[in-house]
Structure 1
Amino acid sequence: MRNVKELYHVLNGKYEFEEKYPFYQEDDGKVHVLYVAPCINGTGFYRMILPMLELNKTGTHVAIVSTIHKWSFSKQFDDYDNPLDKRLIEWADYVVLPAIFSDVSYVLKSLLEINPDLQFVMDMDCNYHAYPKEHPNYKKFTKQHGAILLSNIAQMDILTGASESLLQAYDSRIEKKHPTSNVVLEYQPNLISNFGFQELEAIKQNDSGKLRIGIVGNYGSYYDTLSMKEALFQIKEKYKDKVQFIFFGWNGKHSKNEEPFKDFDFVFEKSVSFLDYYSKLNDLVIDIALLPSTSIDFNTKGKSFIKYLELSAFAIPVVASNATPYREVIDDEDTGMLASTTEEWTSKVESLIEDAEYRHTLGKAALKNTWRNYSYTARSIKILTDIFI
């Protein structure tokens, strides 16, 4: 994260324009991409900051991030102050925006008055229109927000999405609500990069004497974990103190102050700044990771497979739900495991608990699969440069 930390420090410090934007050059013959105000969270990192860093390794494109915000769960993009320097607007060929829930018509008009050749891109990695009732943002995202977001997308030149199913879902909505829109849909997958692992120690090993089974998520995804509660109960009953369950990203409490996993002796690890996210994953020394995902539109028509990639980058064997998005990247029992029923979850996790050699083999295969097929390479960077032509 060295480059990302330096970037965050410079963009939020009292530096001159030239120091903040060293890649700024007016007539270099390259395609200029301006990413607007990402946050330091998973969305900001994978959808804007990493693409910016990777584009600047090419000889054809140059990218700039306008500023970076410290992420707050209670805020949306609209809640932040997002000023754009006129020089950046004049410089840009493309302006990439996150999902915005207030009308952007006036903003787009103002930017076009400065640079009539601008192309507008909106990027999404979440199906906002499919929040389940259990999600903390369900009541926050109103029908009015949904209508404005669709209107904003319809005014874009390009909509980029983290999954093809997400793009298909919004293609249908735009076609229905804004049939005259000319927005082009482009798949931009979430990928991992060496930029995220700079200065990271070697992969740590668990020497606690207990097998550590981890779930990575947040309060918004606790209901996915509830779907496999019976399997967790059976595993805990069978192995008792030989295993330890870790939930990274949630404190275990429901909004009604209920504790649905109170009897499981979970170790709850609170979320950390994304600048420290990879280091924390390494420190947790997880032996087996579980990625439950219920078959609802919010998951199957919205989420990407990035959690699998993050865990696999540490050679952690994963058991995931046999559903989109995970079955898109996991070859069952080769680069991970897929499970649908309580019986499958229980038997597959137990097979990894019982066989240390298989855990190691599966983890190494997942690591190779991730870096070989789902990281930034010359081939995958071309997918990115082909969006901005």
Structure 2
Amino acid sequence: MTDGAAAGSREVLFLSKAGVTDQSTQHRIDPIADELREREYNVSVIHGKQRSIFGRPFRYVAGAGIVELLSNGGSYDAVVMNRDGSPTAYLAALLCNRKEIPLIFDIDDALYHQKRIDETPIPIPGRIFLDKVIQQAAHVTTGNSNIESELSSLNSNITTIPTPVDASVFQKETDPAATYDSTVLGWMGIGPGHEHNLRLLREPLMTLGKKYDITFRMVSSLGNGEIRDTFTEVEQYVDVDYGYNDRIPLKQVRREMATFDIAVLPLNPSDEMMEGKSIIKVLEHLAMGLPVVASDALAYGDLLTHDETGLLADTTEDWVSNIERLINDEGEKNRLAEAGYQMVVKDYTVESYVDQLETVIDTAVTDL
């Protein structure tokens, strides 16, 4: 570690569990690293690797990160590791402690609650050493307060820094990928992990589809059999677009989202995994200038103020009445969209995130 290094001259190494194109990299690593570089930090990023065990893929901190720590670890003032609990992540944490480099462990998802569709836990190799890595860290940063509460018993040095919006990608006045004559209700995300959430939209969509000409679009959903089964009946009343079979670049995602008239973001409070879901989906839709109707649950309910920055729904009746209100009242739709947008540009930018991360780095370096 460089003793007494000024913030702007600090050396920071990011170790990612995810690959270059993965969402966690594009949300909580690359834009953060770029902003630190703008502030004259010397930043290196080593992206993760993916392997498969019994047909199930998992990602982990690459061996190149271990080699870098062994070879050049002493030159770094801090290491930021993203959401990995693999053996290589644990080895990296041990090396950081041995070389007296403060490790900041970042986690923005409730990996400790992940389950299969049949509700049984998934024995993911990337979770085996999660608790041990968290205990080794000098500081933990989380995506929301639910994760912070869950992990505070493992590490008392913990700070919630919500995932920021990359304004260079998600922005108003984006040219839409297509135009529609119907009202487009939209959801953006990776479908298989959200089937329990998306299921909450079945009844509202069928009810609304009997009265209005509606298209329901899932952008980049990688729709699987469970999702298609969930919406088969809905197709009698609503045009359902299941999205793409492969991930698409974020800038293309933006153009697809620009086709939405209203964003619908369900979150099932009975699913433990959802307790730690990031608020990033809500923020990205708001950054696009879209009015949002979201579940009044967990982090989504904490973020949005009903009737001010969005609309919140508990029941089928809530979903129907809120969406119907926006379909029928253009002024209300615009008012809520603008208020949500202003909240994002004020409080959830990459710059705001890095302001908080700098404080965490300063504290970790000072306390070591």
SS of 1:122 mapped into structure 2: strand
Equivalent AA in structure 1 for residue 180 of structure 2: S
Following the alignment from structure 2 to structure 1, what is the Cα–Cα distance between the partners of residues 183 and 34?
37
For 1:78, the equivalent position in structure 2 comes to 60
Is residue 114–residue 122 contact of structure 2 (8 Å, CA) maintained in 1?
no
For 1:311, the equivalent position in structure 2 comes to 285
Given candidates 31, 38, 44, the residue that maps to 1:64 is: 44
Structure 1 residue 330 and structure 2 residue 300: aligned? Answer: no
Given candidates 250, 255, 277, the residue that maps to 2:250 is: 277
Identity of aligned residues (%): 20
SS of 1:117 mapped into structure 2: coil
Following the alignment from structure 1 to structure 2, what is the Cα–Cα distance between the partners of residues 267 and 258?
10
SS of 2:149 mapped into structure 1: helix
Is residue 321–residue 338 contact of structure 1 (8 Å, CA) maintained in 2?
yes
Given candidates 322, 338, 341, the residue that maps to 2:315 is: 341
For 1:160, the equivalent position in structure 2 comes to 141
For 1:17, the equivalent position in structure 2 comes to none
For 2:103, the equivalent position in structure 1 comes to 120
> What TM-score results when the alignment is normalised by the length of structure 2?
0.82
Structure 2 residue runs of 5 or longer lacking an equivalent are 363-368
Given candidates 229, 239, 244, the residue that maps to 2:202 is: 229
For 2:360, the equivalent position in structure 1 comes to 387
For 2:231, the equivalent position in structure 1 comes to 261
For each residue in 1:278-331, what CA deviation from the matched residue of structure 2 results, as whole angstroms up to 9, or x when unmatched? 432323411111100011363553112100111111111110001121122212
Q: Judging changes above 3 Å, is the alpha-carbon distance between structure 1 residues 201 and 225 closer, same or farther for their aligned structure 2 residues?
A: closer
Is residue 263–residue 293 contact of structure 2 (8 Å, CA) maintained in 1?
yes
Equivalent AA in structure 2 for residue 78 of structure 1: Y
Q: CA deviation at 1:91?
A: 2.1
Q: CA deviation at 1:353?
A: 1.2
For 2:262, the equivalent position in structure 1 comes to 288
Following the alignment from structure 1 to structure 2, what is the Cα–Cα distance between the partners of residues 57 and 341?
46
Equivalent AA in structure 1 for residue 208 of structure 2: I
SS of 1:126 mapped into structure 2: coil
SS of 1:362 mapped into structure 2: helix
Following the alignment from structure 2 to structure 1, what is the Cα–Cα distance between the partners of residues 307 and 58?
39
For 1:101, the equivalent position in structure 2 comes to 86
Following the alignment from structure 1 to structure 2, what is the Cα–Cα distance between the partners of residues 264 and 364?
31
Q: Judging changes above 3 Å, is the alpha-carbon distance between structure 1 residues 158 and 211 closer, same or farther for their aligned structure 2 residues?
A: same
SS of 1:194 mapped into structure 2: coil
Given candidates 149, 157, 164, the residue that maps to 2:130 is: 149
Q: Judging changes above 3 Å, is the alpha-carbon distance between structure 1 residues 346 and 201 closer, same or farther for their aligned structure 2 residues?
A: closer
> What TM-score results when the alignment is normalised by the length of structure 1?
0.78
Following the alignment from structure 1 to structure 2, what is the Cα–Cα distance between the partners of residues 316 and 58?
31
Following the alignment from structure 2 to structure 1, what is the Cα–Cα distance between the partners of residues 131 and 283?
30
For 2:366, the equivalent position in structure 1 comes to none
Structure 1 residue 219 and structure 2 residue 200: aligned? Answer: no
Count of paired positions: 345
